[in-house]
Chain A
Amino acid sequence: MIEARDLTKSYGGKLAVDHLSFTVQPGLVTGFLGPNGAGKSTTMRLILGLDRPQSGTATIDGKRYADLPSPLRTVGALLEAKSVHSGRSARNHLLFLAQSQGLPASRADEVLDLVGLSEVAGKRAGTFSLGMSQRLGIAAAMLGEPRVLLLDEPVNGLDPEGVLWIRNLMKYLAGQGKTILVSSHLMNEMAVTADHLIVIGRGQLIADATTAEVIARSSEQAVRVRTPDPARLTELITAEGGQASAGQAAGDGGAPVLLVTGMPAPRIGELAASGSVVLHELSPQLASLEEAFMELTAGSLEFGQHGGGPGTGPQPGGPGPAGAPPGGAPPGSPYPASAGSPAGAPGRSAR
């Protein structure tokens, strides 16, 4: 279990982490989300004792990091910044870490095998690709078979196979009761990996809830309907107080698409049945984590210096197909209004 209590850190007068408190529970993959500069890496550095907080404490299983007797046997960390000598071989890098923890040298070979770097164990780390460096970092994190893992952007630079591997590894380790805190910019990746989310913006806590809650709480939910008779169905829905707007055509020559808000899917089905309207599709649309995240962090910006930025709350008539607020991102938002999902996933993804 990781506990942050009232952590505060500023660099040169600029507040990076602002009275941040949260708890990371064992047995779950906890996602750590926030825009660039929100303080995610700084928070991890504070937990790991690399930086000194101005105030507050961070403990791992009740102990400060510096008080852990053999820290790598308790905590494995993958930092975003490079932490390997380019002239030293992968094996020697892991070997000196293993020796410092009283671990046998064979443990270095085991983790190299685990991450698939055995063949390049003797090569200098400076020759590694981004993906290989990332695997070496993960090998170092796994070296002491830790029960707590802090991973800062672990899928950075990994190919799809590597991403899947990391995702499964984290889930497997969480299943074994380990505590896992993983930061990522890939929000959709978090949607399928994380059980719990801690969202921060400007160093402050924005949300600390299960992934499902964060998504559900954030956006008004829409229902996607396909019918050959959209005019008739729109009539029925408006009469009942719902709102329907023409959705993006599927482009497959099928029936037109309607996006309905203010009415749950079962009610739409009942209305269609009572009015003898044929439905080809009736699917509730959940906000993607990305949208939820943008709404949450845009909110945090509004309470900051950008007071009263363009509204990013629920859009009347349902969100546009790209899921971007019409007013665009608030000024200073790190995410432009046109930002698509990194993985190329649709703005709204069905569950």
Chain B
Amino acid sequence: MTAAQASPAGTVTAPETSPPKRAGFGRLMLSEWTKIRSVRSTVWSLILFVVVSIGFTVLFTALTEANWNAGNDAATRNATIVADPVNFIMGAGLGLGQLTICVLGALLITTEYSTGVIRSSLLAVPRRIPMLAAKAAVFAVLILVAAEIVCFAAFLTGSAILHAHAPVSLGDPNVTRAVIGSGLYLTVVALLALAIGAIIRHTAGAISTVIGVILVVPILTGLLPGTVGKHINAYLPAQAGTLIGQAHRHADDLLSPWQGFGVLCIWAAVLLGVAVYLLKRRDA
């Protein structure tokens, strides 16, 4: 639309001297990309993510393979693995690897507060929603790419190690979905960590909370008796989200793989919404 068309009918207004346009979302993302790539914690977290995820996948699958017939409960344990090998492989190393990108997600925003960069950020982009949205979008793309690479690498190494006892390949039903889905899970859980970081604003508190939500709370709710505990447990972000790594729904699961992933997405969306609300409300 030209300036002439924009002016009210019948009036001719002099065109303003090159009015600066509202920051396009693309340039906000470019800016956030510069931020995220120019600090060391990003590089170190991603290196740790790769090393821990693939390292522990190799370790757990190799130990399982080496001790295939060891122990009294070997038969039941092996039955679970053979029934859904991709779920076992995806769960082996990513459970620990996810912590590195969750820490990165929390750090992404808490270090802005601890170093004071948040003031620079908000002076440049005073509108809180685009600022957080650009940050989340850039981070999501970065983690999605890294996580898919790691998930496929973990699956290929894990399945190669387990091949003798629990053969599985990407061509098997739902296996590709489980591997890609695990990358999606990691991306959304990293965004959830970013949201918690934006809500809590302090590095130590945010990281403790994220680890608590992912690792500690499921253990505590697991201790609750009867179906109450089971229901609460099923809808926790990590418990629900990791269902996407299953090739098929297990008999005792309350949610299907995609339903579980949906529950995780709702958690992340709600927490990001809370983060935006607080960002708008609070002083920087």
**CA A223 – CA B283 in complex, angstroms?**
51
9-residue interface stretch from B60-68, B115-123, B188-196: B115-123
Q: Which residues of A contact B28 (CB under 8 A)?
A: 100
Asked whether B123 lies within 8 Å of A72 as measured between CB atoms, the reply is: yes
Find the A residue at minimum CB distance from B119: A83
CB distance from A84 to the nearest CB of B (A): 7
With known contacts A65-B126, A83-B120, A84-B115, A100–B283 Cβ distance under 8 A:
no
The contact size tier of chain A is 35 or more
Q: Mark B245-271, 1 if CB is under 8 A from A, else 0.
A: 000000000000000000000000000
Asked whether B35 lies within 8 Å of A101 as measured between CB atoms, the reply is: no
From A52, A68, A96, B31 is in contact (CB under 8 Å) with A96
Q: Mark A89-124, 1 if CB is under 8 A from B, else 0.
A: 100110111011110000000000000000000000
Find the B residue at minimum CB distance from A71: B126
User: Is B217 interfacial (CB 8 A cutoff)?
Assistant: no
User: Is A88 interfacial (CB 8 A cutoff)?
Assistant: yes
9-residue interface stretch from B38-46, B88-96, B144-152, B168-176: B38-46
Q: Mark B21-36, 1 if CB is under 8 A from A, else 0.
A: 1111001101110110
Asked whether B27 lies within 8 Å of A100 as measured between CB atoms, the reply is: yes
**CA A84 – CA B283 in complex, angstroms?**
18
User: Is B124 interfacial (CB 8 A cutoff)?
Assistant: yes
**CA A75 – CA B126 in complex, angstroms?**
12
CB distance from B272 to the nearest CB of A (A): 20
CB distance from A296 to the nearest CB of B (A): 29
**CA A338 – CA B6 in complex, angstroms?**
64
Find the B residue at minimum CB distance from A95: B34
From B24, B32, B35, B38, A102 is in contact (CB under 8 Å) with B24
From B21, B119, B126, A66 is in contact (CB under 8 Å) with B126
**CA A136 – CA B31 in complex, angstroms?**
18
Q: Which residues of B contact A81 (CB under 8 A)?
A: 116, 119
Asked whether B120 lies within 8 Å of A97 as measured between CB atoms, the reply is: yes
Q: Mark B107-136, 1 if CB is under 8 A from A, else 0.
A: 000011001111110111111000000000
User: Is the contact region of chain B dominated by helix, strand, or loop, or is it mixed?
Assistant: helix
CB distance from A216 to the nearest CB of B (A): 37
User: Is A79 interfacial (CB 8 A cutoff)?
Assistant: yes
User: Is B15 interfacial (CB 8 A cutoff)?
Assistant: no
Q: Which residues of A contact B27 (CB under 8 A)?
A: 99-102
User: Is B10 interfacial (CB 8 A cutoff)?
Assistant: no
Q: Which residues of B contact A97 (CB under 8 A)?
A: 31, 120, 124
From B23, B39, B281, B284, A69 is in contact (CB under 8 Å) with B23
**CA A82 – CA B23 in complex, angstroms?**
25
Q: Which of A43-87 contact B (CB under 8 A)?
A: 45, 48-52, 65-66, 68-75, 77, 79, 81-87
User: Is A215 interfacial (CB 8 A cutoff)?
Assistant: no
User: Is A257 interfacial (CB 8 A cutoff)?
Assistant: no
Asked whether B122 lies within 8 Å of A49 as measured between CB atoms, the reply is: yes
Q: Which residues of A contact B8 (CB under 8 A)?
A: none
Find the A residue at minimum CB distance from B283: A51
Q: Which residues of B contact A72 (CB under 8 A)?
A: 123-124
Asked whether B123 lies within 8 Å of A87 as measured between CB atoms, the reply is: no
From A75, A82, A89, B116 is in contact (CB under 8 Å) with A82
Asked whether B30 lies within 8 Å of A99 as measured between CB atoms, the reply is: yes
User: Is B19 interfacial (CB 8 A cutoff)?
Assistant: yes
Asked whether B23 lies within 8 Å of A77 as measured between CB atoms, the reply is: no
Q: Which residues of B contact A225 (CB under 8 A)?
A: none
Asked whether B22 lies within 8 Å of A45 as measured between CB atoms, the reply is: no
CB distance from B22 to the nearest CB of A (A): 5
From A50, A79, A89, B283 is in contact (CB under 8 Å) with A50
Find the B residue at minimum CB distance from A97: B124
From A52, A68, A87, B39 is in contact (CB under 8 Å) with A87
With known contacts A97-B31, A100-B31, A102-B24, A85–B39 Cβ distance under 8 A:
yes
Find the A residue at minimum CB distance from B36: A96
User: Is A140 interfacial (CB 8 A cutoff)?
Assistant: yes
Q: Which of A74, A89, A96, A102 has the most CB of B within 10 A?
A: A96
Q: Which residues of A contact B116 (CB under 8 A)?
A: 81-84
CB distance from A109 to the nearest CB of B (A): 14
Asked whether A50 lies within 8 Å of B284 as measured between CB atoms, the reply is: yes
**CA A85 – CA B117 in complex, angstroms?**
6
CB distance from B135 to the nearest CB of A (A): 11
Q: Which residues of A contact B21 (CB under 8 A)?
A: 69-70, 102
**CA A44 – CA B116 in complex, angstroms?**
16
Asked whether A140 lies within 8 Å of B126 as measured between CB atoms, the reply is: no
Find the B residue at minimum CB distance from A81: B116
Q: Which of B21, B39, B112, B281 has the most CB of A within 10 A?
A: B39
User: Is B225 interfacial (CB 8 A cutoff)?
Assistant: no
User: Is B20 interfacial (CB 8 A cutoff)?
Assistant: yes
Q: Which residues of B contact A75 (CB under 8 A)?
A: 123
Asked whether B20 lies within 8 Å of A102 as measured between CB atoms, the reply is: yes
Asked whether B23 lies within 8 Å of A96 as measured between CB atoms, the reply is: no
Asked whether A79 lies within 8 Å of B119 as measured between CB atoms, the reply is: yes
Q: Which of B32, B111, B120 has the most CB of A within 10 A?
A: B120
Q: Which residues of B contact A84 (CB under 8 A)?
A: 115-117, 120
**CA A82 – CA B106 in complex, angstroms?**
21
Asked whether B119 lies within 8 Å of A101 as measured between CB atoms, the reply is: no
CB distance from A100 to the nearest CB of B (A): 4
From A51, A68, A89, B38 is in contact (CB under 8 Å) with A89
With known contacts A68-B126, A100-B23, A50–B38 Cβ distance under 8 A:
no
9 A/B residue pairs, CB under 8 Å, sorted by A: A69-B22, A71-B124, A72-B124, A83-B116, A83-B117, A85-B117, A95-B38, A96-B38, A101-B124
- Additional A-B contact list (7), CB under 8 Å, known A73-B20, A84-B115, A101-B27: A50-B123, A52-B283, A68-B126, A70-B22, A74-B20, A100-B27, A100-B28
